[in-house]
């Protein structure tokens, strides 16, 4: 009965949901690459900003997986139940983002205390450069779909993509400045700029903002 009832709903909404599915699978594919390259390169180079960028990618990877679950739940169980599950998932993601922000602050403070910074990472720079156009396109398409679907979950996921884009700019600036000037403190200072994005995104997820 539930499947037949769904089949009688607006077919346009079902097509939009399937388009959202494709965007989320593309996000998962890219975030898997971004997370592995950024974390490995960050650890190898001792780069806090690059490592934080990679860890944020892991959280966004999980967020994309949760959204796929949420969209599947809507197709199967209806919109109301899927939104309840999504609220719980967003709060978990918000807590993880705030925990990551705490880690970045603590690690940056430790780096400044030791007086040691990062080494330049070519793979890290490459993945951050690639992230800009990829995340820009994905975020724009998700935002447009979110408006058509009236989906707060998809809109929040698009906002995470925008945050990832800004984080990549911070990483690029940090790596280039480190290469050009060799100042040991640049990485720690740049990583603190990431904290603002992490806290903003985490608080919005916990509050369930509907801006």
Q: In percent, how much of the chain has pLDDT > 70?
A: 84
pLDDT in tens, 166-183: 888 888 887 887 778 777
Residue 71 lies in a domain: yes
Residue-level pLDDT at 152: 74
Place of tokens 């679907």: 149
The Cα–Cα gap between 133 and 47 comes to: 23
pLDDT over 50 at 121, yes or no: yes
pLDDT tens-digit series, residues 56-69:
888 888 878 888 88
Residue 178 resides in a domain? yes
Contact 183, 117 (CB under 8 A): yes
- CATH number of 20's domain: 1.20.1510
pLDDT at residue 12, as a whole number: 81
Within-domain flag for 161: yes
Rounded CA gap, 14 and 4, in Å? 13
**Number of folded domains in the chain?**
1
More confident residue, 138 or 160: 138
Instruction: Give a yes or no: residue 121 inside a domain.
Output: yes
Structural contact between residues 104 and 56, judged by C-beta atoms closer than 8 angstroms:
no
- pLDDT the model gives residue 4: 41
Residue pLDDT, tens place only, 9-57: 567 877 888 899 899 999 999 999 999 999 998 888 877 778 888 888 8
pTM of the model: 0.76
Give me the domain span that covers residue 51.
2-206
Query: How far apart, in whole angstroms, are the C-alpha atoms of residue 53 and residue 60?
Result: 11
Predicted confidence (pLDDT) at residue 1 exceeds the cutoff of 90: no
Considering only residues 40 and 83, tell me which one the structure prediction assigns the higher pLDDT: 40
| 211 falls within a domain | no
> How many Cα atoms occupy the beta-carbon half-sphere of 40 within 13 Å?
9
pLDDT of residue 92 exceeding 60, the answer is yes
Return the residue matching tokens 């070519």: 122
d(Cα 147, Cα 162) in Å, to the nearest integer?
16
Q: What percent of the chain has pLDDT over 90?
A: 18
By CB atoms closer than 10 A (0-12, 13-18, 19+), residue 11 is exposed
Query: Is pLDDT larger for residue 7 or for residue 188?
Result: 188
Mean pLDDT of the chain: 79
What one-character DSSP code corresponds to residue 9? S
């Amino acid at each position: 009965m539930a499947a037949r009832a769904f089949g009688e709903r607006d077919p346009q909404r079902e097509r939009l949901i399937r388009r959202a599915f494709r965007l989320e699978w593309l996000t998962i594919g890219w975030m898997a690459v971004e997370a592995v390259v950024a974390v490995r390169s960050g650890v190898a180079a001792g780069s806090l900003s690059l490592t934080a960028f990679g860890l944020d990618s892991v959280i966004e990877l999980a967020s994309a997986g949760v959204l796929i679950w949420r969209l599947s739940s809507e197709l199967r169980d209806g919109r109301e139940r899927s939104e309840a599950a999504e609220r719980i998932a967003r709060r978990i993601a918000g807590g993880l983002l705030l925990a990551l922000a705490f880690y970045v602050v603590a690690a940056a403070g430790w780096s400044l205390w030791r007086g040691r910074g990062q080494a330049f990472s070519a793979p890290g720079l490459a993945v951050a450069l690639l992230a800009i156009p990829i995340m820009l396109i994905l975020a724009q398409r998700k935002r447009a779909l979110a408006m058509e679907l009236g989906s707060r979950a998809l809109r929040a996921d698009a906002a995470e993509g925008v945050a990832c884009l800004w984080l990549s700019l911070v990483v690029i600036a940090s790596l280039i400045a480190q290469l050009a000037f060799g100042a040991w403190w640049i990485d720690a200072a740049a990583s603190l700029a990431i904290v603002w994005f992490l806290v903003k995104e985490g608080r919005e997820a916990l509050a369930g903002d509907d801006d």
